[in-house]
Structure 1
């Protein structure tokens, strides 16, 4: 009988450094979609704060920190990344495990905004897009979640099935920016 072994979405593709920008795969831990029940956002936010030390994120924002983060994911939806959700959250929201559904990468270094400017139709420059800001947008032709997690660092999430395309598109943009320098 064949032995099956688990692989990460970007296994064999990363890490990658081109010029001053580095692309690495992140292990986000448990990923849980959180959709608050009607009229329960404040209760959910309090429960999330008590259980995991972060509030429910406002639109286009992320709360928490590395290892325990909540990322806005669209109207009435957030993604809890890191800890398994505390049972108390189920009183206020629908919870769905998404742990195997997403490829999560980290893009960082000098010129990171220039790389993303080649692929994303959103102004991600520091004056407009600060740490803790997040957006659901296109990244070239893929739907993505892009969150600024550091001064020159972005966390990017796409569907797991698009991992190879994500790495290819980011690498091409990284090479284009590096060639300018």
Structure 2
């Protein structure tokens, strides 16, 4: 009988440092897509506040409370990351477990904006994209999510099956930026 071993999406690929930029895999824990039921958005927001200490995020924003994040994920959906959702949320939203579907990579360091400028068609400069801002966007040729989690730090999320491609694209962009000196 085969011996199956669970591996993270970026096993053997990360961490990676090129120049002053580092990419590391984030163990995000539980990830659940939340979609408010018709007319229940306010009730969902209150239920999230009570259960998890953060509300349903506004478009293009992400909230954080300790190790838990709520990331806007497009029209009428948000991703709850880092906590199993309170059962009471299901009264106000459709909940779909996404824990094994996504890879989360943290990209940080001086020059991170320059690296991402090669891959993401969104103005990610701090003045336009402050800490807590998020966008669904292309990352290279993949659909993904970009969230600024610090002045020089971002969370990049793509489908788990695209982890190797994400790391390849990041490494290429990191090397190009580092080569500029």
Q: Over aligned residue pairs, what C-alpha RMSD do you find? A: 0.7
Correspondence 1:127-138 to 2 at 5 A: 127-138=127-138
TM-score, normalised with respect to structure 1: 0.99
Following superposition, the deviation at residue 65 of structure 1 comes to 4.0
Structure 1 residues 112 and 65: CA distance shift in structure 2, 3 A:
farther
**1:167 equivalent in structure 2:** 167
Q: Distance in 1 between matches of 2:162 and 2:25?
A: 14
1:146 partnered with 2:141 = no
The 5 A counterparts of 1:6-45 are 6-45=6-45
Task: Please tell me whether the aligned partners of residues 52 and 65 of structure 2 are also in contact (alpha carbons under 8 angstroms).
Answer: no
Q: Does 1:104 align with 2:104?
A: yes
Q: SS where residue 124 of structure 1 aligns? A: coil
Q: Give distance in 2, aligned partners of 1:178 and 1:42.
A: 46
Shift of residue 50, structure 1, vs aligned partner: 0.3
TM superposition score normalised by structure 2 = 0.99
Question: Which aligned pairs between 1:34-113 and structure 2 lie closer than 5 A?
Answer: 34-65=34-65, 67-113=67-113
Measure how far apart 1:39 and its partner are.
Answer: 1.0
What is the distance in 1 between the residues matched to 2:107 and 2:79?
A: 19
After superposing on structure 2, the runs of 4+ consecutive aligned residues of structure 1 that deviate more than 2 Å are none
